[in-house]
A = this chain, B = another copy of it.
């Protein structure tokens, strides 16, 4: 009956032309709604459900402690709230507080089954998990960088390059800043941005809001116009899940060739491809690299093994000290760290930047690394934030790192 009404309504307003599939989706409950007082209301229509809860990182986190083989690690779990059933089987929850400006993810759990919000088409994929997204921007707040404004926008491209190391074509995301096309003689510096385990060339663009951050920082005059390259650090993969020739392979964290040296070994072919296809400042002074978690690990070793390649390096919650170096296929990438650090700093790079959260389970290994730098008197910039190993921190680190580049 609802379908018939929809079709008839569409006919009456003169819109007889629409995609058939569109008629099947969504319930009429509006969710999420950012209320005028800054609270947020979530709704889920489930007339027969017994219990509906909401799990989201805007709710007070539960920091939990785990024992991992003798090592205590802490982990931030998103808080949980219960929805109450109202009229017409629509369950509802309104936060008892103004939700701070930020980008959040959440899911519902309906009688034990986790689902995303069917009324919210803003969906993120992280590895094999889908979550709904809540973006609360606010003028003056950092999250305003994550929103889309009427400023000049860069071009975001999915680009394939041939990997000689792997023997097949691989995909990356390339951001060219606003004005790139209209200034055909200008040359631009390049920032390479690497994802974490389970991520891919889409991660920084979707969950990281990196292209919005770049558009907004450049528009404000707080960052130089630059080309930004988002690689796929899973070197055995062509591209993100569903974007490669293997079809329905279920996304997994357990990919081969992620932290054993092949990606670092192959990195110069990415730089060569970018330098030969874009108008770049093709030298150390025009190059920066950064990455989160596994990408921070990659950043460190790419930086150390090619000390003439990057002038700026950023390690965000870097996954150092996991021991993966010891079983690496390319052991040479991870050997002689002290010697490589000495050689790298002898060449006076413009900046090594380290950021990590106070409750990140990797903070100890990062502290050890910093102690090593301190002992040798090597300079670096350091940022410590609240929270753990989470995207909120990685967006903060990117938005702090980018304005410091190419000045």
**A contact residues vs B (CB 8 Å cutoff):** 3-4, 7-8, 10-27, 30, 32, 34, 44-50, 55, 57, 66, 68-69, 73, 75-78, 89, 105, 107, 110-116, 118-119, 121-131, 135, 137, 147-150, 152-153, 155-160, 168-169, 171, 178, 181, 196-199, 203, 207, 238-239, 241-245, 247-248, 250-251, 253-254, 258-259, 277, 293-294, 297, 317, 319, 322-324, 327, 361-362, 388-391
Contact = CB atoms under 8 A, between A and B. Distances in A.
Among A4, A57, A127, A391: residue with most chain B CB under 10 A: A127
Nearest to A71: B11
8 contacts: A7-B66, A14-B259, A25-B126, A47-B111, A148-B245, A148-B247, A150-B238, A156-B157
A118 B121 contact: no
Contacts of A32: 248
A99 to B, nearest CB: 13
Given A16-B362, A111-B46, A169-B150, A3 B77 contact: yes
A203 to B, nearest CB: 8
**Chain A interface, DSSP helix/strand/loop, else mixed:** loop
A155 B160 contact: yes
A137 B248 CA distance: 11
A21 B121 contact: no
A121 B240 CA distance: 11
Among A17, A22, A69, A126: residue with most chain B CB under 10 A: A17
A325 to B, nearest CB: 10
Contact of A16 (B11, B21, B242, B322): B322
Nearest to A153: B160
Given A13-B254, A17-B196, A116-B118, 7 more contacts: A3-B77, A16-B361, A17-B294, A19-B293, A47-B111, A47-B112, A147-B247
A335 to B, nearest CB: 18
